[in-house]
């Protein structure tokens, strides 16, 4: 990710300003707008999409975002450099108006969250901590198809992924801990909902 994007608001602004001016926007356009395909920005992007009530409630969108997270997080475990993503995934599209509505909806919570990010507890977001985040995100991704039938759980997954992504971008280990708490609560909620 470009060095000048260190928070959620910066990511939203970058996407809004640099996606192509056409009716449908593909995932590759959005990833190109952010300038990278590393884990932090992708978690933030996938989480933002799942959290937004407009995009996240479209059937299949949470599972698509989960697949993106699964591909990127699992590659982090075994290789360095930008992850490979299949063309069919990169070519998936959403209406430009829908994307902009979701981005606009996200600005207020993003501004609120950004006020609280700081560089701290960095051992939780680098080295082994980064791999732990990848493993937890893989677990979230694998559970996402079930979340499509449990009300509000996909939004909870989006919240956790967004916080993990923000933690990696801003090197804020406290946010990583907060995301782990969200994940535990999410899985408890899902467990009670399916029983």
pLDDT digit string (tens) for 153-179? 888 898 999 899 889 888 899 999 999
Q: With a cut of 50, list the residues of the chain below it in pLDDT.
A: 1-3
Instruction: Map tokens 């699992």 to a residue.
Output: 74
Structure tokens at 163: 């916080």
Contact between 144 and 124 under an 8 Å Cβ cutoff? The reply is no
Query: How high is the pLDDT of residue 99?
Result: 84
**Res 2: pLDDT:** 43
Tell me if 157 sits within 8 A of 147, measured CB to CB. Answer: yes
Which helix (H) or strand (E) covers residue 25, if one does?
A: strand 24-26
pLDDT for 171 equals 87
CB 87 within 8 A of CB 25: no
């Amino acid at each position: 990710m470009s060095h000048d994007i260190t928070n959620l608001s910066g990511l939203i602004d970058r996407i809004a300003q640099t996606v192509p001016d056409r009716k449908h926007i593909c995932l590759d356009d959005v990833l190109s707008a952010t300038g990278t395909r590393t884990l932090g920005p992708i978690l933030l992007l996938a989480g933002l999409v799942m959290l937004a009530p407009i995009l996240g409630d479209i059937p299949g969108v949470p599972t698509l975002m989960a697949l993106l997270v699964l591909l990127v997080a699992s590659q982090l475990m075994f290789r360095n450099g930008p992850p490979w993503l299949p063309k069919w995934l990169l070519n998936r599209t959403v209406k430009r108006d829908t994307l902009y509505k979701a981005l606009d909806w996200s600005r207020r919570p993003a501004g609120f969250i950004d006020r609280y990010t700081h560089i701290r507890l960095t051992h939780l977001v680098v080295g082994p901590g980064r791999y732990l985040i990848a493993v937890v995100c893989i677990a979230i991704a694998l559970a996402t198809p079930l979340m499509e039938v449990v009300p509000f759980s996909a939004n909870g997954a989006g919240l956790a992924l967004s916080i993990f992504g923000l933690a990696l971008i801003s090197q804020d280990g406290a946010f990583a801990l907060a995301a782990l708490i969200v994940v535990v609560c999410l899985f408890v909620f899902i467990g009670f909902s399916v029983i």
